[in-house]
Amino acid sequence: MDESHQSDLLRRARLRWRARRGLLENDLIFERFFSRYEHDLSDADVVALTRLLELSDNELMDLLLARTEPEGDLATPDVQRLLQMLRTV
């Protein structure tokens, strides 16, 4: 069985590292997000977060600031839930 995100400190560290962005605004949001939610993230949350982190900095910032909403394959309940968490930190 594959270890979950929560049981693997290295995976959590890698996720935090991957969340480092080129835009300070995004970095600040992710820093607050991890401070508040890191230990509560489910594996589904990690998958959704990973999908968001595949976006460009500007696309991600537009989503975080609710300038746009996820579309197409990104418009899943897990991504929507995680995005709501990110928007409230």
Residue 71: its pLDDT value, please? Answer: 95
For residue 69, the model assigns a pLDDT of 96
- CATH assignment of the domain containing 76: 1.10.150.250
How many domains would you assign to the chain?
A: 1
Of residues 8 and 32, which shows the higher confidence score? 32
Contacts of 57 (CB under 8 A, 6+ apart): 21, 22, 23, 26
In a domain, 4, yes or no: no
In a domain, 3, yes or no: no
Higher pLDDT, 32 or 2: 32
Position 1 in a domain: no
Give the residue numbers spanning the domain of 30.
9-87
Which tokens is 45 given?
């949350």
Would 67 be classed as within a structural domain?
A: yes
46 within 8 A of 19, measured Cβ to Cβ: no
